[in-house]
Structure formats: structure tokens, C-alpha cells
Amino acid sequence: MSVDDNASRACDAKSVISSEVISVILDNWQSNPNFNISLTLAYFQTNSGQPKCTFWNMSRSAWDTNGCTLAIQGSNSSMCVCNHLTNFAILMSPWTENVDTTALDVISIVGCSISMLGLIITVVVHFHLWRYVRSDRVVILMNLSIALISSYAVFIGGVDRTENKALCTAIAVLLQYIYLVVFFLMLAEGIEIGITVPYVFVTKSRLKWILPAAWALPAVIVGVSMGVTKLEGFGNTKFCWLSMEGGLIWAFVAPAMLTILVNFVVLILVIRTMIRSKTLSEKSRSERSKAGVRCMCVLLPLMGCTWVIGLLYVNESMAWVQYVFAVCNSLQGLVIFVFHCVLNVQIRNALLKRKHRKQSKSLISTNSASFVSTRVTEEPVALPKINLSTAKRTPRGSLHSADDATGDVLQASGLTEIYNVDTLF
């Protein structure tokens, strides 16, 4: 137990030890996920300041309050309750957290569970409408959704299984691989959108190399990490994740930061292309701003830009960053479900097409025994006019307006609704 004259300040040089230092050794305490230990400690002297429950953090070589709370404060003694659970925020921060882990545990578990449900629905809906929505972007989205579902499941089910060292090491290796796959798939999504939006007439598919790379490169990084460290740093007594000691955490953070940087540049280019398109250039500044915000809401969860929040936590005064990070990223799957399933124009159109197809089949079946006569009109059909001055020729030789093509690509990317700013706002 330490005493500080300012309760809101972290344990620092001004804190003094105000009770006996207790060392407790328990066998297999990690096997109980709800483990708590209560200790009643008597003061060396009373009225010496505000007591604070702490433990000695071996990795920081300093007193730490993480996981310990002051349960009962008396005049001569206080009761401390400590646990050492983990939270979703450990994934990105290369610094030790000093926040309420219990709250982050709840946020992470609830958020991940909701995201898993949303992603499962997203995958089921897309496969149900596959013949109507199939495209390179949707294939990447399905791979990303499956990878995120796997990552959430492994995280919830295994990140705190520290009672078995071999199992914990395996879980840490699996988590590093699956989260790297998630980031490389988000990079693939960024590359796909970055190419198709500015260069609307590029028709060659990139899936033959982009998907194998997204699944294979993380395996190379994980393999190198395992070989260099000889599995040292994969899991510890607190959680089954990459250790901050020795810099192993950067084997995940560095590729993640590179992905975020590339996708951030792509996001800026896409927004600029969208704002300059003929459709939006004729709208007011307010409508263009709303469209830009809409575009960011659609693309941010796909490109992983919110993960950079985890790097902003540098001291206890910024503990709120960890909560923002846990909320944003544990709910990434839910946001993908909302913007790329519920609010997606392509999905709604596919549902209508499927409905009309069923109705047509039903009508044909009903009238199959009857002779149906049809009238064929010989009246000329008016063809749409094409402005040849603004049209471009595709590689297949057909004429197509450049601004219309940009809109078509944005529609294929799930961004059609940004042209209708009243859809969301």
C-alpha cells in the first residue's frame, strides 16, 4: 500500500510506502477467470494522506495500480482487492496500461460479441445474394469479415488462458497471425478502392495475387518472429499476447501502422475524387461536407484507421484513450454490418432483384399450361444521348461518361449513398 497526497496522480516519486509489503504465492490462480484477492493492510502511521492500493510491476520496475482497487478505507487500515485480468486495449499499445481493466474487459467482451453477430449476419446475407452482389470488393469484404470473426472468437476465448504456458503461447501466435491477416485484408481493401475509384476503367481483377498475399505474408512475419525470439515473449502471466518486453509487440504494431498509413492516404484520395465528381460539384458546400463524412464512416472500419488510437496512450492522464480504442475496435464488426449490409444500396437492390426473380418464376409456373400471347411493338426506342466530349473509351471499346463511371465504381464499393446525402443525415 502506498500513500499519495493527490489521489488522482499515478504512483510516482512522491508516493511513499505506508504499510507492510505483502508477497502472496498461489498455485493455479490463473485458472479462475474471476480471480480476486482481498488484503487488509495496516498503516504505519495514520492521517498520512490518501491511500492507494498498488503492486510491484516487474516489467516496469515500479509500483502499479493496474487491477487493484481500494475496497474499504479505515482510519488504521484499508482493504485492497486485486485482479489481473486483461482487455482488448492490449493489442495495439506498446506501453503498459494503467486503467480500470474490469471496465475494459466488459467493453471488449460485449463489443466483440456484438461485432461477431453483425459480421456473421453480413456474411450470410452476402452469400445468400451472391449472384447479385459478387465483385472483387465483396470477395475481399467476405475474407475480412471471416478473419474478424475468427479474431474476436480467439480473443474472447483465449487471450486470458494463461494457466497453461504452451496453450498461452499457441494462442498468442494465433492472435498475432489472425490480426495481421485482418490488417493485410484491410490493406487489400484500401488498394482495391484506391485503384478502382480514381482509375474507373481498370477492369483486370487483382484477387489472384492480393488475397494470397493477405493470408501468406502474415505467416511469414509470425514465422520470423517465432524464429528470432524462440517463442520468448509470446504470452505471459497476465495475457496471451505479444510481450512489450524485448520489442516483440512491434512485430504486430509496425505492419499495422504501415497499413493505417497507406489506407489513410487512400481515404484522402477517394474523398478528393468524390468531392470533385460532377455529381457533387454541383451541390452546396454543406452537402459536400456531409458526403465526405458519410464516405469516411463507410471506409474507416474497412481500412482500420481507428486502430491508430491505441498508439496515443502514453501516460495515465490519457487513460480515456484506452476506452475509446476498446469501443471503436471491438465494435468494428458492427460498423461494417451497419454500413455494408443494412445501409448498403447494392444489398437492397439485390434483395429487390431476388424478390422480382421469385415472382417471375412463380408467374411462369402458374401460366405454364396456358398460351401467352405477346404484342411486339415496332415503334423505335429512344436511345440515351451520350456527350462525346466527356466520354471515354473503355478497354472493351464501349463509350462511358467519366463522371458516371466514378459513380458506378463508388456504387460497387458500397459508397453510392454518399451521393444521396439525405440517406443518413
- DSSP structure string for 365-379: HHTTTS--------S
The model's pTM: 0.65
Q: 88 or 299, which is more confident?
A: 299
Q: What is the CA radius of gyration of the chain?
A: 28
Name the phi and psi angles at 73, rounded to 5.
-110, 120
| Residues sharing a CB contact under 8 Å with residue 232, sequence separation 6 or more, in sequence order | 243, 246, 248
Say how far apart CA 398 and CA 121 lie, in whole Å: 38
- In sequence order, the β-bridge partners of residue 55 are 64
- In sequence order, the β-bridge partners of residue 327 are none
| Maximum pairwise Cα distance, the chain | 104
Strands (E), 35-82: 37-42, 50-52, 55-57, 62-64, 68-73, 77-82
Q: 113 or 93, which is more confident?
A: 113
Say how far apart CA 106 and CA 61 lie, in whole Å: 28
Fold agreement between 2-84 and 89-344? no
pLDDT at 92: 53
pLDDT at 87: 44
Domain residue spans of the chain? 2-84, 89-344
The DSSP letter of residue 99 is S
Q: Please check the confidence at residue 218 and state whether its pLDDT lies above 80.
A: yes
pLDDT digits (tens, 9 = 90+) for 147-194: 999 999 998 888 888 878 889 899 999 999 999 999 999 999 888 887
Q: Which CATH architecture has domain 89-344?
A: Up-down Bundle (1.20)
List Cβ<8 Å contacts ≥24 apart for 19-26: 19/43, 19/44, 19/77, 21/56
Segment 400-406 shows an average pLDDT of: 43
The DSSP letter of residue 416 is G
pLDDT digits (tens, 9 = 90+) for 265-322: 888 888 787 777 766 666 777 776 777 677 777 777 777 777 777 665 544 455 677 7
Look at domain 2-84 and name its CATH class: mainly beta
C-alpha cell at 186: 484491410
Say how far apart CA 332 and CA 111 lie, in whole Å: 9
| Cβ 186 vs Cβ 302: under 8 Å | yes
Say how far apart CA 138 and CA 91 lie, in whole Å: 27
Name the phi and psi angles at 129, rounded to 5.
-110, 25
Say how far apart CA 114 and CA 261 lie, in whole Å: 28
